[in-house]
Structure 1
Amino acid sequence: MAPIKNGRVLFNEVPSGLPMFHVGYPVPGRTTVYDVSQTIDLDTVPLNGSVLIKVLVVSIDPYLRGRMRAPEVESYSPPFALHQPLHNHGIGVILRTDSSNPAFEPGTHIYGLLDFAEYFIPSIDRLKRFVALKTLLDNPSILPWSAYVGVAGMPGQTAVYGWRAYADPKPNEVVFVTTAGGPVGSMVIQLAKKAGCKVIASAGSDAKVAFAKSVGADVAFNYKEQDTAEVLKREGPVDIYWEHVGGSTFDAFLGNAANHARVIVCGMITAYNDSTGNGVNMKNLISFLSKRIHLHGFLVGEVGAKHPEYVTEFYAEIPKQLASGELKWAEDVSHGLELAGEAILEVQEGRNTAKKVIVIAKE
Structure 2
Amino acid sequence: MAPIPNGRALFAAIPKGFPIPGETIVYDATETIDLENVPLNGGFLIKVLALSIDPYLRGMLRPPEVSSYIPALTVGAPIVSAGVGVVLRSDLADVVVGSYILGSFPHKEYFVAPSLGGTARIRILERDPRLPLSTYIGVAGMPGETAYMGWREFSKAKKGEVVFVTTGAGPVGSMVIQIAKQDGLKVIASAGSDEKVQFMEDIGADVAFNYKTTEVRDVLSQEGPIDIYWDNVGGDTLDAAMEHANAFARFLECGQITGYSTGVQPMKNPMLMVNKSLTFNGFMVRNLRAKHTEGFLAEVVPKLADGTYKYTEDITRGLDKVGEVLLGVLKGANTGKAVVVVADE
Which TM class, normalised by the smaller chain length? Answer: over 0.9
Give % identity: 51
Say whether 1:116 aligns with 2:98.
no
Bigger mean CA deviation after superposition, 124-133 or 5-14: 124-133
**1:256 aligns with one of 217, 220, 244:** 244
Name the structure with the higher helix share: 1
Letter in 2 for 1:114: F
Tell me if the contact between 1:50 and 1:127 (Cα under 8 Å) persists in the aligned partners: no
TM-score for both structures, normalised by structure 2: 0.97
- Aligned counterpart, 1:345: 327
TM-score for both structures, normalised by structure 1: 0.92
SS in 2 for 1:33: strand
- Aligned counterpart, 1:38: 31
In the TM superposition, residue 273 of structure 1 has moved relative to its aligned partner by 1.3
- Aligned counterpart, 2:19: 26
Deviations 1:199-229 (A, max 9, x none): 0001011111111111110001111111111
Say whether 1:214 aligns with 2:202.
yes
**1:179 aligns with one of 157, 161, 167:** 167
Bigger mean CA deviation after superposition, 238-247 or 319-328: 319-328
- Aligned counterpart, 1:61: 54
SS in 2 for 1:121: strand
- Aligned counterpart, 2:303: 321
CA–CA separation in structure 2 for the residues paired with 1:56 and 1:127: 21
In the TM superposition, residue 123 of structure 1 has moved relative to its aligned partner by 4.1
**2:123 aligns with one of 131, 134, 147:** 131
- Aligned counterpart, 2:231: 243
**1:284 aligns with one of 246, 269, 277:** 269
CA–CA separation in structure 1 for the residues paired with 2:42 and 2:26: 30
Tell me if the contact between 1:60 and 1:357 (Cα under 8 Å) persists in the aligned partners: yes
CA–CA separation in structure 2 for the residues paired with 1:361 and 1:127: 25
> How many residues were matched structurally?
344
Say whether 1:153 aligns with 2:144.
no
- Aligned counterpart, 1:19: none
SS in 2 for 1:142: coil
In the TM superposition, residue 103 of structure 1 has moved relative to its aligned partner by 3.2
**1:311 aligns with one of 293, 300, 324:** 293
CA–CA separation in structure 1 for the residues paired with 2:50 and 2:13: 24
- Aligned counterpart, 1:106: 97
CA–CA separation in structure 2 for the residues paired with 1:129 and 1:194: 31
CA–CA separation in structure 2 for the residues paired with 1:33 and 1:263: 38
Letter in 2 for 1:149: I
Letter in 2 for 1:130: I
Say whether 1:50 aligns with 2:50.
no
- Aligned counterpart, 1:330: 312
Letter in 2 for 1:361: A
In the TM superposition, residue 129 of structure 1 has moved relative to its aligned partner by 2.5
CA–CA separation in structure 1 for the residues paired with 2:332 and 2:111: 30
Say whether 1:77 aligns with 2:62.
no
SS in 2 for 1:217: coil
- Aligned counterpart, 2:87: 94
CA–CA separation in structure 1 for the residues paired with 2:43 and 2:21: 32
Q: Which runs of structure 1 show a deviation greater than 3 angstroms over 4 or more consecutive aligned residues?
A: 123-128
CA–CA separation in structure 2 for the residues paired with 1:97 and 1:203: 44
- Aligned counterpart, 2:15: 15
- Gaps spanning 5+ residues in structure 1: where? 17-23
Deviations 1:102-157 (A, max 9, x none): 231111101100111110113447487312112xx4xx321111111111110000
Superposed CA RMSD: 1.3
Letter in 1 for 2:134: S
Deviations 1:46-103 (A, max 9, x none): 11121110001111100000000000111110000111111111111111112xx323
Tell me if the contact between 2:105 and 2:120 (Cα under 8 Å) persists in the aligned partners: no
